[in-house]
Chains A and B, each alone.
Chain A
Amino acid sequence: MADRRYFLILPALIVLGFNAFFPILIVLNYSFQKPFAVVPKFMEFGNYIDVLHYPAWWSALRRNLSFTCAALAIQLPLGLLLALIIREKTKFATFVSAVIVLPSLIPFVSVGIVWRLLAMTRGPIPLFLKWFGVNYSLMTPDTAFWTHVAMDTWHWVSLVFLLLSAGLVTIPDVYYTAAKVDGSTRWQTFRYITLPGLRPTLILVALLRIIDSFKIYDENVILTYGGPGRSTEFLSLFLVKKGLLEWAGGFAAAASLIYLFQVIVICFLLIMIVTKGKGLLER
């Protein structure tokens, strides 16, 4: 039987080709010229060199990287802790886990609004921190950055929790029983049974969090719009401002391609690690 079923994939491919492949060609084209000028001109690699010599781009990139590291360092242990504590199947525990998951389904914009309201001059966060003698203001660069991290944690720790809980179920009970019989301590059980059992899930969660926190845009716009000054401008916002507000098309195109390249390389490496070089199709 000649297998012609693969024609079924065509509609999806056509739509995606138009949407994902064609635009990349356009960006590629832009990145070598000065597209919206009166006299368009060919720039060779000029735009790329400009991007790599642009201090604001470097600081946005550094900010993105430190944001991703901070988010991972806080969310992974926290999510693991929650998943380990909330393991019982009582009604109350189920309700609590539903509540924890809720933020990950709220539109990003609304998350931004929620946190802006909390962190405003007259919001609950400054008020609360005043009790402890801490002066909090969204208008200082460091505070603004860490508010982003806190917001991201509130938003996405649920994802870590959700996936790790699912991962915990897959560790066979027999292992725990055996450990109990052998008289191992709680720490040993965690270190030599739970942690190795969760390894694949942990790597996967880390992958997802790295990629999603690298893309942060919506909350960034609502919470500070890169302010104060440009001190919390992340790469996505930097790109959109450059491309659509300053109309520096060639520059923005080159910067987008570099950004895209970074993400794809990270993705590729991590997927190869997760699946041990087999790729994502499991056959």
Chain B
Amino acid sequence: MRKKRTRVRKILKIVFYIFLIFVFLFPVYFMGITGLKTRSEIETQTTLYPHVVNLKNFQQIFRGVWLSTIVNSFTVCLLSIALCLPLSFFAAYVFSRVEFRGDIHLYFWLITNRMAPPACFVLPFFAIYTNLGLFDTIWGLLLSYTLFNLPLSIWITYSFMEAIPKELDEAAFLDGHSIWAYFGKVLIPVMAPGLITVAGFIWMFTWTEMLFASILTAVEAKTLPAQLTLTVMRLGYGVDWGMAAAGGMVSVVPALILVFTIRKYLARGFVPLRRV
């Protein structure tokens, strides 16, 4: 009797799992196949697989405007990592190892920048970056992204740094290492997995950002999310949903890579406290 019940429960569980996989993957699947459909099929029927496979959308993604937006997105992501990773490493080191007056308030201010709605910054950013001649440049985009990237990466790096015993510092300094030698020879190698995770998160938050990208860029420095928004918002001709879906599909790829590489640390990116 008992055995039978556990078996029923096992089967129920598997059915439930399959249901979950369906719920979470079907929407993405549907976007993928919409990218493969012809325009007339999208606009006249509901089909669960493309009756006529149309590779044109995906070919167009890797040409012209779309290609340049993808390249821009990649460039901004890499530059963001190059800028924010060292800065946040130093800042997190100070928060973790050095006590100074007002450190708690400073830290809280940092965190509020992660929490603040970016929409509040749109107006002044537009004014500042146009006046500095940084409108529609990768550099302007890079600088504006530090608003949320830096607090976030300091937050995560701090949580990784706290897990490393402070005695390591003292031992190194007693051995006569300078602070730079200590960073290079001891701390950075020890923290390598943590730093890679932080880089992954900077990548993710930069890759997905849309608000600043659509406001601070026009042609030259447009990123993939901004281009997608433009495609969806275009009125007059009607929206080319095939193109939007194909572009959306391309933007999912880094997420797929990340989910299988830094999944172990994913929780850290959202709540970087030791307790969790």
Is the beta-carbon distance between A159 and B119 smaller than 8 angstroms? no
Is the beta-carbon distance between A281 and B104 smaller than 8 angstroms? yes
Is the beta-carbon distance between B210 and A107 smaller than 8 angstroms? yes
A162 within 8 A of B: yes
Q: Interface residues of A, CB < 8 Å — how many?
A: 93
B111 within 8 A of A: yes
Is the beta-carbon distance between A103 and B103 smaller than 8 angstroms? no
Chain A residues within an 8 Å CB radius of B118? 215, 217, 236
A98 within 8 A of B: yes
The docked-state distance in angstroms from the alpha carbon of A110 to that of B119 is: 19
Asked whether A244 and B123 contact (CB < 8 A) given A124-B30, A166-B267, A264-B115, the answer is yes
Residue of A nearest to B83 (CB): A15
Chain A 1-38 interface mask (CB, 8 Å, partner B; 1/0) = 00101101101110110111011101100100000000
Chain A residues within an 8 Å CB radius of B122? 239-240, 243-244, 256
B6 within 8 A of A: no
Residue of B nearest to A247 (CB): B123
Chain B residues within an 8 Å CB radius of A217? 117-119, 210-211
Q: Interface residues of B, CB < 8 Å — how many?
A: 95
Pick the contact of A280: B45, B87, B108, B256 (CB < 8 A). Answer: B108
Pick the contact of A279: B107, B123, B241 (CB < 8 A). Answer: B107
Chain B residues within an 8 Å CB radius of A267? 111-112, 115
Chain A 103-131 interface mask (CB, 8 Å, partner B; 1/0) = 10111111011111110101110010000
A99 within 8 A of B: yes
Chain A residues within an 8 Å CB radius of B119? 215, 217, 235-237, 239-240, 256, 259
In the assembled complex, the CB of B235 is this many whole angstroms from the nearest CB of chain A, namely 10
Asked whether A5 and B97 contact (CB < 8 A) given A12-B91, A12-B150, A163-B270, the answer is yes
Given A122-B45, A256-B120, 9 extra CB contacts under 8 A: A5-B93, A16-B113, A27-B121, A109-B228, A110-B31, A110-B252, A124-B30, A256-B123, A279-B104
Residues of chain B touching chain A, judged by Cβ–Cβ distance below 8 Å, are 13-14, 16-17, 20-21, 23-25, 27-28, 30-31, 34, 42-46, 48, 87-88, 90-91, 93-95, 97-100, 103-104, 107-108, 110-113, 115-128, 143-144, 146-147, 150-151, 154, 162, 179, 204, 207-208, 210-211, 215, 224-225, 228-229, 232-233, 241, 244-245, 248-249, 251-252, 255-256, 258-260, 263, 266-267, 270-271, 273-276
Q: List 24 A-B contacts (CB under 8 A).
A: A8-B91, A8-B94, A27-B124, A30-B123, A92-B14, A103-B24, A106-B251, A110-B252, A120-B241, A122-B45, A162-B270, A163-B270, A200-B275, A215-B119, A217-B118, A218-B211, A221-B229, A244-B123, A256-B120, A259-B120, A260-B120, A279-B104, A279-B107, A280-B108
Residues of chain A touching chain B, judged by Cβ–Cβ distance below 8 Å, are 3, 5-6, 8-9, 11-13, 15-16, 18-20, 22-24, 26-27, 30, 82, 85-86, 92-93, 96, 98-103, 105-110, 112-118, 120, 122-124, 127, 154, 159, 162-163, 166-167, 170, 200-201, 204-205, 208, 211, 214-215, 217-218, 221-222, 225, 235-237, 239-240, 243-244, 249, 252-253, 256-257, 259-260, 263-264, 267-268, 271, 279-283
